[in-house]
A and B are shown apart, each in its own frame.
Chain A
Amino acid sequence: GAGVSQSPSNKVTEKGKDVELRCDPISGHTALYWYRQSLGQGLEFLIYFQGNSAPDKSGLPSDRFSAERTGGSVSTLTIQRTQQEDSAVYLCASSSWTSGRAGETQYFGPGTRLLVL
């Protein structure tokens, strides 16, 4: 497809279960970002990938959160032992950033709405 896709679009899970959220970036985009948007809150940066490496993991809220990216394309955000406070919309974005071109625009996916009961 032409845009960033995310799956699932909605996920309801029970407290303590693990969840995996998937992001498929725009083809050829080397940079990939994960954000969290909670009700009434702004966008909270989680992690950023350049290719398959993650130079900045500073936004991950706890060690229950992890992310990987393989083949410079699809990324998976995993939340282990989910808690109710993890309920939010998880957004993925990609950009075609290369060194020195900091003005690249991010293109966002529709998000995954996670509800932890």
Chain B
Amino acid sequence: AQSVAQPEDQVNVAEGNPLTVKCTYSVSGNPYLFWYVQYPNRGLQFLLKYITGDNLVKGSYGFEAEFNKSQTSFHLKKPSALVSDSALYFCAVRDMTGGYQKVTFGTGTKLQVIP
């Protein structure tokens, strides 16, 4: 069975500082990893994904994530946080084992960027 863990319910960071939102995963096959963001009173939006290739993936709004196979992690990062980055962030994993593509989401991490 596949699973995703986001160990932090909330992350607080000062505006202008680098931010990291953590995600670890467990799959039986090759992982396909995603980050989504949910702004207040809005639907989930795709940020970035890792399928194969370069371990550092760049996405929307200046975010990036690093795939680390040995640590089974896919942490989301941004060099300089903005107040507008404050939102709920979800990590997700898809495993093709079994022939269909169930996606499992983490419980989410609330990012609060402090002016």
A residues adjacent to B (C-beta < 8 A): 4, 31, 33, 35, 41-43, 45, 48, 50, 55-56, 91, 93, 97, 102-111
How far, in whole Å, are A31 and B103 apart by their CA atoms in the complex?
A: 12
Question: Assuming A42-B108, A108-B44, A110-B43, is B100 touching A48 (CB within 8 A)?
Answer: yes
Interface status of B94 (Cβ within 8 A of chain A): yes
Within 8 Å by CB of B104, from A31, A45, A50, A111, lies A45
Within 8 Å by CB of A56, from B34, B100, B105, lies B100
Contact call A110/B42, Cβ cutoff below 8 A: yes
Question: Assuming A56-B102, A91-B43, A103-B51, is B107 touching A41 (CB within 8 A)?
Answer: yes
A-B pairs with beta carbons under 8 Å apart, 29 shown:
A4-B43, A31-B101, A35-B105, A41-B107, A42-B90, A42-B106, A43-B105, A43-B108, A45-B105, A48-B101, A48-B102, A50-B100, A55-B100, A56-B100, A91-B44, A102-B32, A102-B51, A102-B94, A103-B32, A103-B49, A105-B34, A105-B49, A106-B34, A106-B36, A107-B46, A108-B44, A108-B45, A110-B43, A111-B43
The proximity string for B residues 76-106 relative to A, scoring 1 for CB distances below 8 Å and 0 otherwise, is 0000000000000010001010001111111
Contact call A97/B101, Cβ cutoff below 8 A: yes
How far, in whole Å, are A56 and B100 apart by their CA atoms in the complex?
A: 8
Residue of A nearest to B96 (CB): A102
How far, in whole Å, are A102 and B103 apart by their CA atoms in the complex?
A: 10
Number of interface residues of B (CB under 8 A): 23
How far, in whole Å, are A31 and B100 apart by their CA atoms in the complex?
A: 10
The proximity string for B residues 35-63 relative to A, scoring 1 for CB distances below 8 Å and 0 otherwise, is 01000001111100101000000000000
Contact call B90/A106, Cβ cutoff below 8 A: no
Question: Assuming A41-B107, A42-B107, is B46 touching A105 (CB within 8 A)?
Answer: yes
Which chain A residues border B42 with CB–CB below 8 Å? 110
How far, in whole Å, are A56 and B46 apart by their CA atoms in the complex?
A: 23
In whole Å, how far is B32's beta carbon from the nearest beta carbon of chain A?
5
Which chain A residues border B106 with CB–CB below 8 Å? 42
Contact call B101/A43, Cβ cutoff below 8 A: no
In whole Å, how far is B53's beta carbon from the nearest beta carbon of chain A?
11
